[in-house]
Amino acid sequence: MAETIVPQEHEVAHHFDDLEQEFQSHRMGMWLFLASEIMMFGALLVGGFILMYRFPGAFAEGRAHLDWRLGTINTFFLLTSGYTMALAAMHGQRGNQSAVRRNLWLSLLFAAGFLVVKFFEYSAKFHHGTLPGKYFTAAGFSDPHAHVFFGFYFVATGLHVLHVLIGMGLMVWCLFVSRKVKFTRAYITPVEMSGLYWALIDLVWFILFPLLYLVG
Amino acid sequence: MENMPGHTYDAKVLLRVYISLLVLAGGMILISRVPLEAIGLEWIDLHVLKGLVILGISLVMGSIVAGFLMGLRYETSRLNSLVFLANFAFLALFITFTWADVNFRGLLDPSFTKQLNWESPVIKANENPAAEHHGE
């Protein structure tokens, strides 16, 4: 017969005085990590803006080959998964373990939806040969720098997709943790830190989406 | 409750944040679809203005996420806010040095600008009759 796991109260690690100190240390560490992420994406986005300024024709022509409707669907998926992650943290504070799990599953579902749309977008690009650098084989583009746009598109969205995959991994980890540890008003650290990471993924998309699909 | 770590999540606030983000995203997309030719204003570059408005909306969305979903609005530790804001100082440094490099490259050594000698794969694809014609 399968053994039922009853979630236990979280115990403060021995090197912390109390929950407050433990939480603030985790949050500080997470913010330092997020700072490095923001600098990495910031440099990438600055590069994107500079390329757009240098090759406006290439960006206009390349952008015409992206489907803004797919970008809109993905924006909805990320927005909603960000909301459900925050709801998971809220229910964690209220000690509602099943609602935490339900919202984590919903977040995972919307994140998977984002990846499915991205898969269709990428496969169309591979099919038409609109790939970065020397792999660019699509004929019919008038701007000689059109491949620069697709180089930026694949690097920026590829890095973002990698973060989405890591974020999904964190959600799965939270689901495992929720079976063993009881979330309370005083302890929701795994869900809150994963939520912070997921919010950063949202934030980056809010700049990537208009830059790639809408502006120009 | 005052000794509890972090801030308390409020369902109403979260719902308002979600709806406002949806509305802003919708507004951003609607503005991007406006046909500028139909407006017919010639004394102002509407394409630039539209781009700035769209990016402005995206910055507002980012601020809402950072403030409410990432909890910066409720942050009691000034150090965390400082870490977050310090990023933008570093970003300003990135922008300054990259801008200087892009605009003044080759000023001291004109031969440097000729070092970027690449062949455009776009031109090669157009010259190659075997290449597939894009039709997205």
The per-residue pLDDT for range B81-97, each reduced to its tens digit, is 777 778 778 878 878 88
Block residue for tokens 């979330």: A183
Candidates A70, A73, A80, A206, partner chain B, best to mutate (most B CBs within 10 A): A206
Higher-confidence residue: A28 or B115?
Answer: A28
Residue A196 near residue B6 (C-beta atoms within 8 A): no
Check the CA dihedral B91-B14-B23-A77 and report its sign.
positive
Nearest CA in chain B to A19: B5
Distance from CA of B95 to the nearest CA of A (A): 7
Closest Cα partner for A128 from A65, A72, A68? Answer: A65
Instruction: Give the pLDDT band of residue A132 (cuts 50, 70, 90).
Output: confident
- By the CB < 8 Å criterion, does B56 face chain A? no
How far, in Å, are A21, A23, A31, A32, A173 from residue A26 at the CA level? Answer: 9, 5, 9, 10, 17
Instruction: Give the pLDDT band of residue B116 (cuts 50, 70, 90).
Output: low
Give contacts of B70 with chain A, Cβ < 8 Å: 196, 199-200, 203
Instruction: Report CB contact under 8 Å: A20, B121.
Output: no
Name A8's bridge partners: A181
Candidates B70, B74, B75, partner chain A, best to mutate (most A CBs within 10 A): B70
How far, in Å, are A23, A27, A83, A201 from residue A72 at the CA level? Answer: 36, 32, 17, 16
Give contacts of A38 with chain B, Cβ < 8 Å: 84, 87, 91
State the Cα–Cα distance between residues A64 and A59, nearest whole angstrom.
8
Give the pLDDT score at B83.
75
Distance from CA of B60 to the nearest CA of A (A): 10
Give the pLDDT score at A168.
98
Q: Domain-by-domain residue ranges, chain B?
A: 11-107
Give contacts of A143 with chain B, Cβ < 8 Å: 122
A20-29, A81-90, A164-173, B11-20, range with the lowest pLDDT: A20-29
Give φ, ψ of A28 to 5 degrees.
-60, -45
pLDDT of A208 over the 90 cut: yes
Instruction: Give the pLDDT band of residue B136 (cuts 50, 70, 90).
Output: very low
Alpha helices in B65-104 (DSSP H): 78-104
Instruction: Report CB contact under 8 Å: A43, B135.
Output: no
Closest Cα partner for A214 from B110, B108, B31, B123? Answer: B31
Minimal Cβ distance to B6: which of A32, A192, A200 = A192
Q: Averaging pLDDT over each range in A177-186, A201-210, B68-77, which range is the top one?
A: A201-210
CATH architecture assignment, domain A19-135+143-214: Up-down Bundle (1.20)
| Residue B12 CB burial class (10 angstroms; 0-12, 13-18, ≥19) | exposed
Give the pLDDT score at B23.
97
Give the pLDDT score at B29.
95
Q: What is the pLDDT of residues A76-101, one digit of tens each?
A: 999 999 999 999 999 998 989 999 99
